[in-house]
Amino acid sequence: MERKLWGTAAGKQVELFTLDLGQGNSAAITNFGAALVSLYVRDRSGEVADVTLGYDSVQEYEQCTKYLGVVVGRYANRIAGAQFTLGGKEYQLAANDGRNHLHGGPGGFAKRVWDPEVISTETGEALKLSYFSPDGEEGYPGNLQVEVVYSPTGTGGLRIDYFASCDQDTVLNLTNHAYFNLAGHGSGPILDHELEICADFYTPADAESIPTGEILKVEGTPMDFGSKTAIGARIDADFCQLRYAGGYDHNWVLRRTGSGLELAARVEHAPTGRVMEVLTTKPGIQFYTGNYLDGVAGKGGAKYEWRGGFCLETQFFPDSPHQAHFPCPILRAGERYAHSTIYQFSTK
């Protein structure tokens, strides 16, 4: 694995690691925000392109407000009213998305320097990133030890394993916030990508992107990606959920048969032949179409315009601490949090 000094943040050394994924693919990861900086993937003709949005420097990640490629936590997505009750005690969080809490708050995991370690796995060298989140950080209870492991799948893909334990009951929902564009980052809108999501239901949200608590069928609505459909086919439909979010920014309820890794979504880009499959152990996936990208200055002078990237964030459902019928995001004291996601690549 290649590694180089990339800068400093909060008085700590920040490095950039290049992970060989095999089959000509590779990933660049930094220990600032545990961020996936670049993901180089071959197309059907063997040409390599970087298919994730990102930045060229640590300073840009420090200032980033779009969460490009970072690990977010303690709680990915939104918690209504920036508070939750656990064990009869109310915990107040930062209101950093209107009156609500988003992606762990302004001092969440995306803004922390993680401790790196190169480790060996059956599929090759991997990168383990560790972070200790003290009791009360961003308002959350308990001393939490977190590990994120980036490793090759052995077949050209990238695997992310999330582990954690805490000395108190807490809520935890970790994900990676990578934005993808299979044409190559900075290549314009992703509306021609064809998407399939393995879900029959989704959780509708209000105008603040907070789930209403309903679990509705996707059938007969623009939320139906049960079969391969262009992202742009219905994105501007006269449908309240799309009007609220300015496009897609919703949680789908994945069809699951067990607790292991299962296919959650598949994306195809016909012009290049690139195919990405997302597998996960999580119960939900947030599909987001870059509705708030607004000419962000990215890597290599690229400009990330509106709908210039899409996210497929594997997760517990948004605002689950307030929705008892959603899958439970509580990590009990002494228990082990362990979830995995794979981004697998191929061509057709």
Catalytic residues: 177, 313
Beta strands 124-133 and 2-9, pairing class? unpaired
Query: What is the distance between the alpha carbons of residues 196 and 263, in angstroms, rounded to a whole number?
Result: 10
**3-state per-residue secondary structure call for 2-49:** EEEEEEEECCEEEEEEEEEEECCEEEEEECECCCEEEEEEECCCCCEE
Q: Give ∠ CA 38-39-43 in degrees, rounded to 5.
A: 140
Longest dimension (CA), the chain: 59
d(CA 101, CA 342): 27
What residue has token string 């994120």? 148
First to last CA, the chain: 29
- Pair 293, 306: CB distance under 8 Å: yes
